[in-house]
Amino acid sequence: MALITDLSGKTAIITGSNSGIGLGVARELARAGADVVLNSYTDTEDDHALAKEIADEHGVTARYIQADLSKGDQARALIEQAGTCDILINNAGIQHVAPIEDFDTGKWDAIIAINMSSAFHTTAVALPMMRKAGWGRVINIASAHGLTASPYKSAYVSAKHGVVGMTKVVALETAKEPITANAICPGYVLTPLVEAQIPDTAKEYDMSEEEAIEKVILDRQPSKEFATVEQLGGTVAFLCSPAGDQITGTTISVDGGWTAL
């Protein structure tokens, strides 16, 4: 993927970034020259080794900061500990599936806290840093479920719709400043978590893995192809480029046509 812009001298904080979409975004921003802060709720040698790997590969500064984003004070402390934030990628998220009448209230609270409220807390601390620097990008990784719905995902759909709404508010509050706020809405992305689900899905439906991907997992994704973490990273990098200066308060779908239906 071609380098879109030079982000040297910028610091990007990516929540939920020791795997999957968040890690893909972190790698792409580092490739563009940004210093990066990785994050998750764990604090292992592998987490810190991942940051060192990115730093060594791209010649940038990369750090790992542990924070449990289900707790607002830790979400705020993540940004404060980083010390500076030019690019904020709110990506952390969890999922739980159940009918509303059976939906565990603790799971509801956790999904709302991690998928939506954490973005409020991190943004509230990051915006003054961006204003001081005279430039900023807030990019929220929402979901196709931030624009449409599926059964049994009440908390996730509610949280992602909330993230889209909050993105618009931030965009309006910063509209006269060199700061933009946008939401990226992926469909199904080929992450290690999704890959691990394919064999079980095929077994459950008595299908080949190829059939399970096309007919079950990607049932609502017209392209019948997964998006990739590299494509998500490239979309983020585009929004951080000068071409994104007047793109604010909107959603960009990376969903193979899902929300066109």
Which of the residues are catalytic?
A: 156
Sign of CA dihedral 75, 114, 29, 144: negative
Classify 63 as helix, strand or coil: strand
Strands (E), 188-238: none
Give ∠ CA 236-152-220 in degrees, rounded to 5.
55
Q: Which residues, listed in sequence order, are joined to residue 38 by a DSSP beta bridge? A: 64
Q: Would residue 182 be called left, alpha or beta, if left means φ above 0 and alpha means ψ between -120 and 50 degrees?
A: beta
Residue with tokens 């992305």: 189
Residue with tokens 């607002």: 72
CA distance 3 to 28: 9
Residue 253 in tokens? 């779908």
CA distance 124 to 131: 12
CB neighbours of residue 194 within 10 Å? 15
Q: What is the DSSP pairing of strand 35-40 with strand 62-66?
A: parallel
Q: Which strand (E) or helix (H) includes residue 93?
A: none
